[in-house]
């Protein structure tokens, strides 16, 4: 079964049109459900969703207690979805539900995650398109996951690929990176994009910085959660090396050029040593904490794809 998960926040003018387009796009798909997650809307969205529910047996409506944010709403959708394949879609009508079959056909080819690419994006250039381009470029280069448009909500996943992933902060955009880190196959398809005709955008320029910061958290969690000493200890050793080189320079300057021992460089040397020791100790504490975490929760440090 297919589960279409749609976070909703103050989109009352778009919901009826969205449901009508979903009915048209999914009529030949087979068994599916639509899971609307009302993220604490303050307009008439809950009433519209209840009206939709009363006329559609395949619709679920989950109302959150308050406005938690899109990531938390999507996690609630994952928790309440019954399908084997999950499709995420925004409620603002900028993504076309007619593109959903494209993503599903890729999933049927054996991919674990399929990301939409808004190649001809209908958003303001300076406020949305340029920051998004730089964020996608930076994340793609560092993560080695070649995707053009991580910010596109229209994505499809095998539910099996999401079972070990929990979403926090703004990390819903980075789900493909988590799937790739667990050995999942990732694909990307071009999807259409439309201008917003009703409601108000919930995104601003500050999203660029949040996404980049969340990406670095994701990279740490994916690459170094089981070995935090490699991060903290690595930087500690690097600073010790810098302190050693600086100490040699200060000594040579004193011996051959008559320099002073007590100079700003000496205090920088002391600071480097102190910070390096602190980083190594932080790495040791993090290693102990990670081991306690895994042992107490009986959590595995690996994920099995298949056992024969």
Tell which of 180, 199, 224 closes a domain: 224
pLDDT for res 229: 81
Tell which of 174, 193, 224 closes a domain: 224
**Residue 22 structure tokens:** 């979903």
My answer on whether 237 and 219 are in the same domain is no
Task: Give the mean pLDDT of the chain.
Answer: 84
Q: Per the domain annotation, does 307 fall within a domain?
A: no
My answer on whether 130 and 19 are in the same domain is yes
Q: Per the domain annotation, does 158 fall within a domain?
A: yes
My answer on whether 56 and 185 are in the same domain is yes
**Whether the Cβ atoms of residue 93 and residue 194 lie closer than 8 Å to each other:** yes
Q: Per the domain annotation, does 237 fall within a domain?
A: yes
My answer on whether 188 and 271 are in the same domain is no
Q: How far is CA 126 from CA 123, 202, 206, in A?
A: 9, 16, 12
pLDDT for res 38: 93
Nearest-angstrom CA–CA distance, 167 and 74: 8
My answer on whether 154 and 173 are in the same domain is yes
Most confident listed range (215-219, 220-224, 257-261): 257-261
Q: Per the domain annotation, does 44 fall within a domain?
A: yes
CATH of the domain at 97: 3.90.550.10
Which of 7-16, 58-67, 294-303 is predicted with the least confidence, judged by mean pLDDT? 294-303
Q: Per the domain annotation, does 95 fall within a domain?
A: yes
My answer on whether 179 and 214 are in the same domain is yes
**Residue 84 structure tokens:** 């084997």
Q: Per the domain annotation, does 123 fall within a domain?
A: yes
Per-residue pLDDT band for 133 (boundaries 50, 70, 90) equals confident
My answer on whether 166 and 256 are in the same domain is no
My answer on whether 137 and 157 are in the same domain is yes
Per-residue pLDDT band for 262 (boundaries 50, 70, 90) equals confident
Numbers of helices and strands, H then E, in the chain: 9, 7
Domain that holds residue 182: 2-224
In percent, the amount of the chain with pLDDT more than 90 equals 41
- For the chain, the distance separating the N- and C-terminal CA atoms, rounded to the nearest angstrom, is 25
My answer on whether 145 and 269 are in the same domain is no
My answer on whether 54 and 133 are in the same domain is yes
pLDDT for res 142: 74
**Residue 270 structure tokens:** 């002391």
Q: Per the domain annotation, does 304 fall within a domain?
A: no
pLDDT for res 17: 94
Rg (alpha carbons) of the chain, rounded to whole number: 25
**Whether the Cβ atoms of residue 80 and residue 100 lie closer than 8 Å to each other:** no
My answer on whether 261 and 218 are in the same domain is no
Tell which of 161, 193, 224 closes a domain: 224
Average pLDDT rounded to a whole number, residues 124-139: 72
Q: Per the domain annotation, does 280 fall within a domain?
A: yes
Nearest-angstrom CA–CA distance, 223 and 88: 26
Residue whose entry in the numeric block shows the structure tokens 């910010």 = 151
**Residue 78 structure tokens:** 């994952």
Average pLDDT rounded to a whole number, residues 174-196: 87
Rounded to whole angstroms, the maximal C-alpha distance in the chain is 89
Nearest-angstrom CA–CA distance, 223 and 141: 15
My answer on whether 69 and 26 are in the same domain is yes
Q: In the chain, how many domains are there?
A: 2
Tens-digit pLDDT profile for residues 29-41: 888 999 999 999 9
**Whether the Cβ atoms of residue 95 and residue 193 lie closer than 8 Å to each other:** yes
């Amino acid at each position: 079964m297919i589960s279409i998960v749609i976070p909703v926040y103050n989109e009352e003018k778009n919901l009826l049109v969205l449901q009508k387009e979903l009915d048209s796009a999914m009529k030949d798909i087979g068994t599916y459900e639509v899971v609307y997650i009302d993220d604490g809307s303050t307009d008439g969205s809950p009433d519209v969703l209840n009206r939709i529910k009363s006329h559609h047996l395949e619709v679920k409506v989950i109302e959150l207690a308050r406005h938690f944010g899109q990531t938390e709403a999507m996690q609630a959708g994952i928790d309440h979805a019954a399908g084997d394949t999950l499709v995420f879609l925004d409620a603002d009508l900028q993504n076309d539900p007619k593109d959903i079959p494209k993503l599903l056909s890729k999933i049927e080819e054996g991919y674990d995650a399929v990301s939409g690419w808004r190649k001809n994006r209908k958003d303001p250039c300076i406020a949305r398109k340029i920051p998004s381009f730089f964020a996608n470029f930076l994340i793609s280069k560092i993560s080695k996951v070649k995707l053009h448009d991580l910010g596109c909500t229209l994505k499809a996943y095998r539910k099996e690929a999401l079972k070990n992933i929990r979403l926090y902060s703004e990390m819903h955009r980075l789900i493909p990176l988590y799937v790739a880190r667990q050995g999942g196959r990732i694909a990307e398809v071009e999807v259409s994009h439309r201008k917003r005709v009703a409601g108000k955008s919930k995104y601003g320029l500050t999203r660029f910085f949040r996404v980049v910061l969340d990406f670095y958290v994701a990279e740490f969690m994916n690459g170094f959660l089981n070995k935090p000493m490699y991060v903290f200890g690595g930087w500690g050793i690097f600073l010790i090396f810098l302190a050693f080189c600086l100490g040699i320079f200060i000594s040579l300057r004193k011996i051959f050029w008559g320099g002073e021992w007590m100079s700003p460089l000496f205090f920088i040397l002391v600071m480097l040593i102190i910070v390096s020791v602190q980083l190594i100790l932080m790495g040791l504490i993090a290693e102990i904490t990670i081991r306690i975490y895994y042992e107490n929760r009986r959590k595995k440090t690996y994920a099995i794809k298949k056992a024969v």
